[in-house]
């Protein structure tokens, strides 16, 4: 069963997809996600990292973005006015179907439509023509959607499937962290700590290592 409960964890989605837009240099969207996260959840777990990302955006763009959005869903349609969208039609037609569908799924996540997004990611994963990279990405995003929907058992199952099938994926640390967080939410603190220790010891260190260290410190208190 892939559908979950209706309750979502929007702070997690805001952070993850703020980071996604930051990585692909769509700073207006990233800034909006981060600022909404601070506004709605001022004590969120990622506050220090969010503040650092906002400072970085300001340095990249001068005084930060002056673009205003009315809602999370509005940044999805904002593609129509982005400079990137000037070549959107030709870009989309050049993308493999699995890749294009994957990014459609991410847009649904941004809009908070986790169940719909999950169906898209499953479609990419099940498609025999999808590349291994996008199969892996889609499987991990399915697990994140399930966690956001608080369907933790299903999320745990998919994360374990990812770890088994894609041991060499560049996202393996992220999958381990997501699994550690699922254990935390399920009150399996020893299981979470054990995975976090494993993540911390994986080199090279990156942003997932930083998140793992923070969560580890919190759980050890």
Distance CA 14, CA 45 (A): 12
CA dist 12 and 144 (Å) reads 9
Each residue of 87-137: pLDDT tens digit? 334 434 445 567 888 888 888 887 788 999 999 999 999 999 899 999 999
Residue 202: partners with Cβ closer than 8 Å, 6 or more residues away:
173, 209
CB–CB of 178/147 below 8 Å? yes
Least confident of 23-27, 185-189, 194-198, 211-215: 23-27
Q: What is the pTM of this model?
A: 0.64
């Amino acid at each position: 069963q892939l559908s979950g409960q209706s309750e979502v964890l929007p702070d997690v989605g805001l952070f993850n997809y703020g980071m996604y837009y930051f990585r692909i240099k769509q700073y207006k969207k990233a800034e909006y996600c981060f600022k909404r996260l601070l506004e709605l959840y001022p004590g969120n777990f990622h506050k220090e990292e969010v503040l650092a990302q906002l400072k970085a955006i300001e340095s990249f763009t001068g005084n930060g973005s002056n673009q205003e959005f009315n809602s999370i869903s509005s940044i999805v349609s904002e593609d129509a006015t982005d400079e990137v969208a000037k070549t959107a039609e030709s870009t989309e037609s050049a993308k493999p179907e699995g890749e294009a569908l994957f990014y459609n799924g991410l847009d649904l996540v941004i809009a908070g439509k986790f169940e719909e997004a999950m169906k898209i990611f499953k479609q990419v994963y099940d498609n025999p023509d999808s590349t291994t990279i996008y199969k892996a990405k889609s499987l991990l995003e399915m697990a994140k959607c399930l966690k956001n929907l608080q369907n933790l058992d299903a999320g745990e199952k998919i994360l374990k499937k990812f770890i088994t099938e894609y041991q060499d994926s560049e996202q393996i640390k992220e999958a381990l962290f997501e699994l550690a967080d699922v254990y935390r939410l399920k009150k399996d603190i020893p299981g979470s700590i054990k995975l976090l220790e494993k993540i911390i010891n994986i080199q090279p260190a990156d942003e997932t290592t930083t998140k793992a260290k923070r969560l580890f410190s919190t759980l050890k208190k």
